[in-house]
Structure 1
Amino acid sequence: MYLNQFDFLYNAVGIENAAKVYFNKRPDELTKSEAACLVGMVKNPSLYNPRSYQVKDYRGRIAAKKEIDRDKVSEQEVREAREKDSLLIHQRRNQVLMQWLKNSEKENGALTEKITREEYDQLKNEPIIVDYQVVDHKEGIAPYYRESLRKELTALFQSKDEKGEYIYKKKDGTPYDLYQDGLRIYTTINVELQQYAEEAVAHHLKEGLQPEFDKNNKRRKRFPFAENYNGIAISDEQVESIMNRARKGSERYTRMKDEGLSEKEIMASFNIKVPMTVFSWNGMTDTIMTPNDSIRYYKGFLRAGLISIEPQSGFIKAWVGGADISSFTYDH
């Protein structure tokens, strides 16, 4: 059950999604090496991730750690850092294989499949070949509503009665799994109204409010921050406090913290320019900027939400939490 709930990163929650995301297979199609790799990730899915070391920005991380410009980091340094992480992943997989072998030799009855010493010697030298597949719940209609529904149902299925038993459970007493149990979930969302609502919010912001907002803010020295609040000037300390909350709430900060970087190293990385893709009303745009600049950039966008409720029944017919859930995750 634990593996069915574990977050393997890259939107891969549960072993079935992990098998699909990393190897483009069903769990029963995984090789022994691939299965051991996924089991090894449970200890630390960021450190022992078979994909992240292939796409990680080592140049930026090394530059942040040394407090130097990106272009001063050599290809040799990048290659050595990548190889070090690759070795970690293979070592972790081999540790799992060794435990598998030991339990096989002990005739552990819990094993449904065993491995021999010959298999272990062969498997430990196999490369880990990832066939990465994107699984993104942010695509499609009503993404904010679906995310809200996911959280509500996940909490519902974990609720227990006064005896400590799951309220919503299967015949074996275990709770329903949102991803694994083939549940059919019916909602009151009207697809046509939802599409109109999403288009209306985007049009209202893009064509109406945002241009006027940008025009007005050209004269502001502190943009995207207000000059004052209730007639009182905002201090540099208040601006820095706002920025710091945004940094610590970012995926970048969490990821680097999990990887063991110090606070100083993480904060230094926010001042180093890196390639990134940012939201614009004309589509996603590739650019180069510092993470600090990207925080200021996103704070310059107006946000909005819309909900449509049928008065006779109280049914929710349309739910728009924002303009783009990939860029603005907060549900208004």
Structure 2
Amino acid sequence: MNKSLSAQDIKRYSLLIWKLLIGGIALFAIFISMIGLGLFGALPSFRDIEHPKSNQASEIIAEDGRTLGTYFVQNRSNVTYKDISENVINGLIATEDTRFKEHSGIDFKRTFSIIGYNLIGKKQGASTITQQLAKNLFPRESNLNFFSLVLTKFKEWIVAVKLERNYTKEEIITMYLNTVDFGNQAYGIKSAARVYFNTTPDKLSITQAATLVGMQKGITMYSPTRHPERSRDRRNTVMAMMVKSDLLTQQQFDEEKDKPLNLHFNAATVNDGIAPYFRSVLKNDIKTIFQEQSITKPDGTPYDLDRDGLKIYTTLNYDMQVYAEEAQKEYMKVLQAQFIASWKGRNPFKDKTLQIEQGIKRSDRYKSLKLEGKSDEEITNDFNTKTEMTIFTWKGNIDTVMKPIDSVRYYKMLLRNAMMTMDPTNGHVKAWVGGINYEHFKYDQVKMGTRQVGSTAKPFTYAVAIENGYSPCYTVPNVPVTIEGYGEPWTPRNSGKPLPGSITLQKALAYSQNFVTAYLMKQVGPVAVSTLATKMGIPNVPAFPSICLGTFDSSVYNMVGAYGAFANKGIYTKPIYLLRIEDKNGVVLFSQKEIPKPIMSEEVAYVMTRMLKGVVTNGTGSRLNYKYKVNAPIGAKTGTTQNNSDGWFMAITPQLVTGIWTGCEDRAFHFISTNQGEGANTALPIFAGFIKRVYANPALKISHADFEAPKSGVSITFDCNQYQKQEEGTSELDEKLGF
């Protein structure tokens, strides 16, 4: 027989329940306090909360603020709240944490609701955005057992509360979006916007934002690159939740839901972005600067460019860099076809066994086999055994099967190219193309590589002559000249058939006549020319007569700097490309400015610009006008070295100086004929493609203005008609005076 509970029993049971409840809450509070005190393992300190650690990519920034590329372990770049589209903020709150602006880090109301859902088999996550941020900033260890997992969850609660106490809601949601993983090496909303849509976070549309927010439910499952249909459905779910939260109208949803994903996917790699050669050289320079100037973090540890989120401000112009890369790619395809065709019916590898052996020993494959302890015989067998490999072509990478030794031969016949453009007025480098493909050929040919400069060295000798009183209109017999007194007597030959008779210095430079250049060298001496070249930033130029024809080696970087002095009224400014470096908080760690040095008179520099213009208007650079229709005041000099191993083109305008080199990696491989191997054919067309793009972009403000004459006037006569009258007048006067 059941007896009903008495009032006293009910009271006793109620009291017991209350005691259990209060005791449980007290125990829970004690447990949380113990976690907070670190009795179950250390928690992030207040300093850690204030300065959370995360691998943040360092950004290389162009002069207009656009990002050229990044150095990273994780491709993460932070942005501020104002730089994030409202569409992203709304989508995230509607999907992940509708009460985000109301709770204090832990949404207990939502937590208990989610527990109920999970008990009936409807799995849902209860973490707030702040809790997810805590998890991102202070990641869990892998392979945790149940107790450790629960303990870690409570630790995240405490960190979330601390985050809420130390940061505003705007700061918290910004930190979350800066730390979250979007897959495909895109960490943070800035990287994700660029990788998936080639845009910036502030410009993300509703659909783009919803796509990225939707990925947070599963970056693999809802990846727009791997599962586009699934990603699109998830995107629409996010927008539907925005409608439910009154953060999107039904009309907007109806307009957007049927749109395609419209990805502009650019996979993030260390080589990603433009100017990869430049970024590689820059990285090494920064490491050297930090080391030499003892620039360290406040705690004394060295900066890590791949993790510390530095802002690296450069002089490069984003558009010009793109134009330079486009011009190179456009013409080098054509030139490579010319080069291969020129060897048709001939064996380019005849008598080149030594060069092929050197190529083998310089290859990564050879070095790897050596490290594995392979014998020379085993390595030879390996290089003569067909294997799968990927090779570079101008049509794109090709997967093929070939003998490694054949790949060495293939690359020996592949033309290389480098180019740099600089503003001569301040030395700021605007474009830098160090090679044809950084993925395959890491060696930078702009600054790190040096090659024989050929006839591009002639203006140095002419400049010394002008400084010594010679006029561009001075006439010299175009016949062989022998120079003695510097070892063996030196008598240079002319490249091709020399112009007949006596010619002016202007014409001799325009048509790159060796005899007249040698004549000038005999008059001014190699020491004066070597000294000037050194002042113009070209090191190691020996004081020998042959330097007038460019028998010395130089880099594109140094040659552009040297020609800058002609364009900048006789003032040399060493090319610079790094302006300043800031840490992630905006503190300036390093900065530099150009250092101008007057090295020749403004008058001499001006006369040289006119002589160099003559190369384009009526000389070896004239195809710039008649073939490529570039009609602007441009001075230039072509250069071709012995056996056509190197082709150069140096060009100057009042606002830009450009240097271009083309040739094979190995000087033993070259064009057969000068007609094809000269700089006018191998390098000039790339400049034409570049400068036409530059002139077509009015935003760059590169004018067609001519070089300014010195305000004090020019005493050197460069008008040859006037010079002729002066000479005739002088002759008449001499006759009258009996000379």
Q: TM-score range by the shorter chain?
A: 0.5 to 0.7
Distance in 2 (alpha carbons) for counterparts of 1:266 and 1:29:
47
For residues 1-332 of structure 1, the aligned pairs below 5 Å read: 28=139, 31=142, 136-159=269-292, 167-207=294-334, 209-221=335-347, 223=348, 225=349, 235=351, 239-332=352-445
Q: How far apart are 1:28 and its partner, in Å?
A: 5.0
Q: How far apart are 1:272 and its partner, in Å?
A: 0.7
**Change in CA separation of 1:175 and 1:246 when aligned onto 2, cut-off 3 Å:** same
Distance in 1 (alpha carbons) for counterparts of 2:285 and 2:313:
14
Distance in 2 (alpha carbons) for counterparts of 1:271 and 1:305:
32
Distance in 1 (alpha carbons) for counterparts of 2:373 and 2:339:
40
Helix, strand or coil at the partner of 1:319: strand
Range 321-330 or range 271-280, more displaced: 321-330
Q: How far apart are 1:29 and its partner, in Å?
A: 5.6
Partner of 2:547: none
Letter aligned with residue 138 of structure 1: N
Range 261-270 or range 190-199, more displaced: 261-270
Distance in 2 (alpha carbons) for counterparts of 1:204 and 1:189:
22
Distance in 1 (alpha carbons) for counterparts of 2:400 and 2:414:
17
Q: How far apart are 1:135 and its partner, in Å?
A: 6.8
Letter aligned with residue 140 of structure 1: G
- Residues 322 and 328 in structure 1, CA contact (< 8 A), matched pair in contact too: yes
Offset from partner CA, 1:78-126 (integer Å, 9 cap, x none):
xxxxxxxxxxxxxxxxxxxxxxxxxxxxxxxxxxxxxxxxxxxxxxxxx
Distance in 1 (alpha carbons) for counterparts of 2:140 and 2:280:
30
Distance in 2 (alpha carbons) for counterparts of 1:322 and 1:250:
17
Distance in 2 (alpha carbons) for counterparts of 1:298 and 1:150:
27
Offset from partner CA, 1:204-231 (integer Å, 9 cap, x none):
1112x2222111111322x2x4x6xxxx
Partner of 1:21: none
Q: How far apart are 1:274 and its partner, in Å?
A: 0.5
Helix, strand or coil at the partner of 1:305: strand
Helix, strand or coil at the partner of 1:219: coil
Partner of 1:77: none
Letter aligned with residue 169 of structure 1: T
Helix, strand or coil at the partner of 1:186: strand
**Change in CA separation of 1:266 and 1:29 when aligned onto 2, cut-off 3 Å:** farther
Helix, strand or coil at the partner of 1:288: strand
Runs of 4+ in 1 over 3 A off after TM superposition: 25-32
Identity of aligned residues (%): 42
**Change in CA separation of 1:280 and 1:185 when aligned onto 2, cut-off 3 Å:** same
Distance in 2 (alpha carbons) for counterparts of 1:184 and 1:136:
18
Helix, strand or coil at the partner of 1:275: strand
- Residues 157 and 177 in structure 1, CA contact (< 8 A), matched pair in contact too: no
Helix, strand or coil at the partner of 1:268: helix
Which stretches in structure 2 are left out of the alignment for 5+ residues?
A: 1-54, 56-70, 75-135, 144-266, 446-739
Distance in 2 (alpha carbons) for counterparts of 1:27 and 1:277:
40
Distance in 2 (alpha carbons) for counterparts of 1:283 and 1:27:
42
Letter aligned with residue 442 of structure 2: T
Distance in 1 (alpha carbons) for counterparts of 2:345 and 2:138:
57
Normalising by structure 1, we get a TM-score of: 0.52
Q: How far apart are 1:267 and its partner, in Å?
A: 2.8
Q: How far apart are 1:240 and its partner, in Å?
A: 2.9
Distance in 2 (alpha carbons) for counterparts of 1:185 and 1:150:
10
Distance in 1 (alpha carbons) for counterparts of 2:137 and 2:396:
34
Distance in 1 (alpha carbons) for counterparts of 2:432 and 2:421:
7
With a CA cutoff of 8 Å and minimum separation of 6, indicate the structure with the bigger relative contact order: 1
Offset from partner CA, 1:123-170 (integer Å, 9 cap, x none):
xxxxxxxxxxx973223211110111111112222336xxxxxx1112
**Change in CA separation of 1:268 and 1:158 when aligned onto 2, cut-off 3 Å:** farther
Helix, strand or coil at the partner of 1:281: coil
Letter aligned with residue 157 of structure 1: F
CA RMSD of aligned residues (A): 2.9
Offset from partner CA, 1:58-97 (integer Å, 9 cap, x none):
xxxxxxxxxxxxxxxxxxxxxxxxxxxxxxxxxxxxxxxx
Which stretches in structure 1 are left out of the alignment for 5+ residues?
A: 5-12, 18-24, 33-133, 161-166, 228-234
**Change in CA separation of 1:155 and 1:28 when aligned onto 2, cut-off 3 Å:** farther
Q: How far apart are 1:257 and its partner, in Å?
A: 2.6
- Residues 304 and 321 in structure 1, CA contact (< 8 A), matched pair in contact too: yes
Offset from partner CA, 1:177-216 (integer Å, 9 cap, x none):
2112221111111111111100101111112x22221111
Q: How far apart are 1:303 and its partner, in Å?
A: 1.0
- Residues 169 and 175 in structure 1, CA contact (< 8 A), matched pair in contact too: yes
